[in-house]
């Protein structure tokens, strides 16, 4: 009998390895059948790789040949994988579907009416709907795919979910009819908007004022986990777009984000000579302690943050108020200050929360405004689907 024990690394299948172990010991397959307590055909099938080595059999073989059971199982797994690769049909579209269905909230997009499909399991229909949504002839060119050519330049790389939201804003804005924008009209709009700060109900006039100024204003409910507050983009140099998600339904956040995006428009941020070079100014998490802070904020965002804060509450007056009243801020002082400035107390409350880090204070003044603005705006979300592509 050959005293040397074969190594599993020298074989491609568990049957070959078992046969070599039998030869090394001078055993026949019938001997192995007797030892295992099975019939001859079972061993013949095992050696011929027609019967897989399962965990129970691997342990039995370990006891007989003094070879770790894992070696038999590893060989079986490698053999099974090799057979599967031979028999499996290659599907070049599988990787593409993994990117699209794994990165995009397809089910949510269907529910929101963005995709013309009944459910996410209807792959051909969903793929056709996605190509239509992203304005591509085939799904292979959709921007969320790593190999696809970029169609939307952004100041920061958006996530696939954020990109879907941006495309929806652009799609809706593209169908709006407004006059040609000029910087003069934009500056005039700021003056008209500043006169609306005294009462929450005045926010209903915002869509009309922006439209008359040539600015396309769109409200699109945020997709889950997108964390988008607003965006400024340019269809061309005469057609700026402001999109908002209103994910924080508060008067202070509404005016801050709106004025932030409007400053991008006034300054021409993201606008270039060639339309294909235009940059989308996507703004996320413009709220709370993150608004206007952090060393990573670029100059354009600093400018927009400063303009938004000044618009909501003149900052020198805010500084003076805090200097006089800190560290104790009474509600009567807040109301009196708001009355003096002729603005809604929620704007003061929002600034105080941001400056002091006390987001639990004066929350009763942070009035909701979505229900006020929505009836006069183009809205997509909260059960409504914007009438585009009809």
pLDDT at site 151 = 67
Going by C-alpha positions, the residue among 114, 289, 152, 296 that lies closest to residue 231 is 152
Query: Please, which pLDDT band fits residue 97 given cuts at 50, 70 and 90?
Result: confident
Quote the CA–CA distance of 298 and 89 in Å, as a whole number.
50
At residue 294, the pLDDT reads 41
Arithmetic mean of pLDDT, 244-268 = 96
* Residue where the block lists tokens 């003149």: 314
Q: Specify which of 94-103, 247-256, 295-304 reaches the highest per-range mean pLDDT.
A: 247-256
pLDDT at 52: 96
| Token pair belonging to 239 | 């057609």
Whole-prediction pTM: 0.82
pLDDT category of residue 148 using cuts at 50, 70 and 90: low
Supply the pLDDT for residue 19. Answer: 96
pLDDT value, residue 390 = 54
Please state the rounded mean pLDDT for residues 113-139: 92
pLDDT over threshold 80, residue 197: yes
Phi, psi of 243 (to 5 degrees): -115, 140
Residue 242 scores a pLDDT above 70: yes
pLDDT reading at 290 higher than 70? no
360-384 tens-digit pLDDT: 889 999 999 999 999 999 999 999 9
CB-CB contact of 254 with 202 (8 Å): no
Take residue 364 and report the two structure tokens written for it.
Answer: 């009763």
Burial readout 171-201 (b: 16 or more C-beta within 10 A, e: otherwise): bbbeebebeebeeeebeebbeebeebbeebe
**What pLDDT, on a 0 to 100 scale, did the predictor assign at position 253?**
95
Determine the pLDDT at residue 296. Answer: 53
Q: Place 5 in a pLDDT band, splitting at 50, 70 and 90.
A: confident
Joined together, the tokens standing for residue 142 give 């959709």
Residue 152 has pLDDT above 50, yes or no: yes
Mean pLDDT of the chain: 91
Of 155-159, 201-205, 321-325, 334-338, the poorest mean pLDDT is in: 155-159
pLDDT bracket for residue 295 (50, 70, 90): very low
More confident position, 101 or 292: 101
Strands (E), the chain: 153-154, 216-220, 228-234, 240-244, 279-284, 378-380
- Write out pLDDT tens, residues 7-58: 999 999 999 999 999 999 999 999 999 999 999 999 999 999 999 999 999 9
What separation, in Å, do the N-terminal and C-terminal C-alpha atoms of the chain show? 84
* Stronger pLDDT, 296 or 273, i.e. the higher one: 273
Cα–Cα distance for residue pair 38/35, rounded to 1 Å: 8
Closest CA to 213 of 235, 192, 236, 233: 192
pLDDT reported for residue 147: 60
- Map out the domains of the chain with their CATH numbers: 8-87 (1.10.260.40), 93-141 (no CATH), 154-380 (no CATH)
């Amino acid at each position: 009998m050959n005293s040397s024990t074969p190594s599993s690394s020298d074989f491609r299948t568990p049957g070959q390895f078992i046969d070599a172990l039998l030869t090394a010991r001078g055993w026949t397959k019938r001997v192995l059948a007797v030892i295992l307590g099975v019939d001859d055909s079972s061993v013949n099938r095992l050696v011929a790789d027609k019967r897989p080595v399962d965990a129970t059999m691997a342990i039995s073989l370990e006891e007989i040949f003094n070879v770790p059971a894992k070696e038999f199982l590893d060989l079986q797994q490698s053999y099974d994988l090799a057979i599967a690769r031979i028999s499996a049909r290659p599907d070049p579209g599988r990787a593409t579907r993994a990117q699209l269905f794994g990165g995009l909230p397809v089910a949510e997009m269907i529910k929101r009416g963005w995709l013309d499909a009944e459910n996410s399991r209807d792959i051909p229909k969903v793929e056709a709907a996605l190509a239509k949504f992203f304005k591509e002839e085939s799904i292979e060119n959709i921007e969320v795919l790593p190999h696809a050519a970029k169609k939307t330049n952004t100041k920061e790389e958006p996530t696939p979910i954020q990109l879907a939201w941006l495309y929806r804003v652009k799609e809706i804005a593209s169908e709006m009819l407004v006059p040609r924008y000029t910087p003069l009209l934009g500056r005039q709009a700021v003056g008209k908007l500043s006169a609306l700060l005294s009462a929450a109900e005045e926010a209903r006039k915002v869509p009309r004022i922006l439209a008359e100024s040539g600015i396309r204003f769109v409200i699109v409910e945020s997709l889950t986990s997108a964390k988008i507050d607003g965006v400024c983009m340019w269809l061309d140099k005469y057609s700026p777009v402001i999109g908002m998600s209103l994910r924080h339904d508060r008067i202070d956040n509404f005016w801050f984000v709106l004025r932030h995006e409007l400053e991008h428009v006034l300054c021409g941020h993201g606008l270039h000579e060639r339309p294909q070079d235009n940059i989308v100014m996507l703004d996320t998490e413009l709220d709370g302690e993150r608004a206007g802070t952090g060393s990573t904020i670029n100059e354009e965002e600093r400018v927009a943050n400063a303009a938004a804060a000044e618009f909501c509450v003149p900052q020198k007056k805010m500084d003076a108020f805090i200097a006089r009243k800190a560290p104790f801020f009474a509600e009567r002082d807040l109301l009196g200050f708001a009355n003096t400035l002729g603005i809604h107390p929620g704007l003061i409350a929002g600034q105080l929360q941001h400056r002091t880090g006390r987001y639990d204070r004066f929350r009763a003044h942070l009035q909701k405004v979505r229900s006020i603005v929505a009836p006069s705006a183009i809205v997509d979300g909260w059960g409504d689907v914007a009438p585009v592509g009809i």
